[in-house]
Chains A and B, each alone.
Chain A
Amino acid sequence: MARFRPFHAIAVLALLGVAAFPLYWMFVTSLTPSARLFGAAPQMLPDLAQLPVYLDALTTTSLRHWLFNSMVVAVGTTVLSLLLAVLPAYALSRLKFPGLLLLGFVLFLTQMLPEAMLVVPLYDIFARLGLLNTLLGLILANTAFTVPVVTWILKGAIDAVPGEIEEAAHIDGCSRLGIVLTVVVPLIAPTLAAAAVIAFFHGWNEYVFAQTFISDDQLRTASVGLASFVGELSTPVHTVMAVGFIYTLPAVVFYLFVQRYVVAGMTSGGVKG
């Protein structure tokens, strides 16, 4: 039986508090009456009588559209990234060919340039391809940034898969593609989950492309919709905080859903064989 270590428990609770406090503060602020919003003493407890502000946020703004759009973009980015990254990751891990290292390096080129630098040429290309004002365009742009990272994460996991398993499958008549899809992919599933989290959060939080490529209000993502409340003349603080709080929830739920795989994925490859 594990021994209870009070200092560890306190440290964990303190870290949890630091991580969760911004979320709590958002929630409290969203429910603080206007008259006390700028009071000398900060409000530390939520006033639950103000809960209708959440109903207002859901019914009087385009928040539901924005969340749906963000979900489409985030899930689309995740799926496309994983699909596109598996084969290059396998190739980087298993195949030996001239320029292997260079290829791995080139993959990271998009990571070396900030989004702001690529947004103008991408806008031009997307305009020609009819991808402006489409969620598909956002998914493609985000995927370009997540595929290199996901590829390298998966490469690390594939490195840790014993070659003997693949050889056995090969002797049994399995093709190279069959080995990747039916043998390797299931074995690296925890790492796929970890990579999925990275791709999902990138797609969920992305702002610059979403702000620039989308002009139709109904196609805005939640990150841009949230920013649109911060005005020149005034900011509806309660609405911003309520929308911000709601905006974080799907991402938190997604993480809770995959977190057990993520932990396994983060540690996979640490012990080989």
Chain B
Amino acid sequence: MTLNRLLTPLAAAGALLLAAGAASAQTKSVVTFAASHFAEVGRGDRLKAWVEKFNKENPDVEVKPITIPFSSFATTIFTQMGGGGGPDIIRFDLPEFYAAVAAKSVLPWDGVINDADYKFTSADKFMFVGGKRYGIAFDTANYAMVFNAALVPGGKAPANFDEFLAAAKAATKDGNYGFAFRATMAERGGMWYDLTNFVYGFGGRWSKPDGTPTFNSPEVIAGITAYKQVYDAGVTPKGTDAATYRRMFWEGKIAMEIDNGGVATILTSEGKAHPIGAAHSPFPHREQGMILAPATINANTKVKDAAVKFLRWALQPQQQQELQTLLGAANVATVVPRTAAELDAMPWLKVYDAQTPYSVPALPQGLETKAPEIQQIVVAQVLKVLQGGMAPKAAMDETQRLVTTRVLGQ
């Protein structure tokens, strides 16, 4: 190889480097808005169009959606915030919201809005920490069971856990599965919600209102035992991630799922070829977890006023109505009644809406700021139950000990 042959590609690469510099030039001032929704097919595009409507109405501000893959959303945002940057507005999941508040990574909303001007939903109370508002509930969603009537014996939802287990076993044949949930550390956040639904459904809570951990209460152990029963029954596509098994559901390969209203909207719209219905989860108690995703203002923002302008716009009744419609079976920050057209198009919505009085945030009450560490411990111990054969009681006793000593330092 001669020197010339070596230098030619180097020169070409130098030109590419210059192109990189040119492509990188960015002078426009914008409000960046990060939400995992933006990465979703369908719903993401509708949400971007909703944001674009603001941009057209407000030529002095441009809100720019930031797409971050769901799997690395929280890690990326916290990394950027730790480095003194990050998007100006962030739609967090609830566990990350409390962690961000505790780390003073998001701004309190002093004077941002006048609460009396809005009719907030009951979930709004969770937006306050230490008496201060740190966000608005951008979207909330209840959990219920969605089922494919063509795969469930008798074509109707099981009424209790025994019927559910029998139906799941009967539906598992010919490449189909009776049920699907998460059971891997790779999907820790999602598995936490699945576990919470089982635990709440069997009457358990992760903690008492004063923050005393109750991970080894009989009700929590009953929920974990039920989770293991389903896992051991061989009725789930083990190892399949949620995005894939949800697609399997709308392709008619899975009979039942317990999922939130946002997902149910996708499942029913994509799975129109199948008779999909909804019912409350088949547990002894009606209580289930809920998705609660606050919109917050990054403490590092340099464009707070512009961010506030967008959030005030988002809280207007018309924008709230449009947001709720595009999100499907979800609620927004303020009370927005369902329209007749929505109920006609999605009759199963009533099941999800009826779940509202029984929806409880999926966080250990009083320990919200410790939720990410607690999730890690709980999921690790439950995985020992599912995959390592550990007894549920022993695992939850160990969870109680670890949370008490390692997280709470007692």
Contact = CB atoms under 8 A, between A and B. Distances in A.
Contacts of B16: 71-72, 75-76
Contacts of B83: 119-124, 127, 212
A135 B23 CA distance: 8
A192 B79 contact: no
B1 A231 contact: no
B92 to A, nearest CB: 13
A204 to B, nearest CB: 13
B3 A186 contact: yes
A263 interface: no
Interface residues of A, number: 59
A215 to B, nearest CB: 5
B266 interface: yes
Contacts of B270: 234
Interface in A35-78: 35, 37-40, 69, 71-73, 75-76, 78
Interface in A251-268: 261
A219 B24 contact: yes
A232 B242 contact: yes
B365 interface: no
Contact of A37 (B26, B76, B246, B251): B251
A233 B249 CA distance: 12
B89 to A, nearest CB: 13
B66 A230 contact: no
Given A38-B248, A228-B67, A139 B17 contact: yes
Contacts of B41: 231, 234, 236
A172 interface: no
B3 A182 contact: yes
Interface stretch (B32-40, B128-136, B354-362): B32-40
Nearest to B17: A76
Contacts of B284: none
B103 interface: no
A235 B17 contact: no
B238 to A, nearest CB: 14
Nearest to A41: B175
Contacts of B80: 123, 212
A237 interface: yes
A136 interface: yes
A235 B19 contact: no
A164 interface: no
Given A123-B80, A127-B85, A233 B6 contact: no
15 contacts: A72-B17, A75-B13, A76-B13, A79-B10, A83-B10, A120-B82, A123-B80, A127-B85, A211-B68, A219-B23, A228-B67, A228-B68, A229-B39, A233-B266, A237-B247
Interface of A: 34-35, 37-40, 69, 71-73, 75-76, 78-80, 82-83, 119-124, 127, 132-137, 139, 181-182, 185-186, 189-190, 192-193, 211-212, 215-219, 224, 227-237, 261
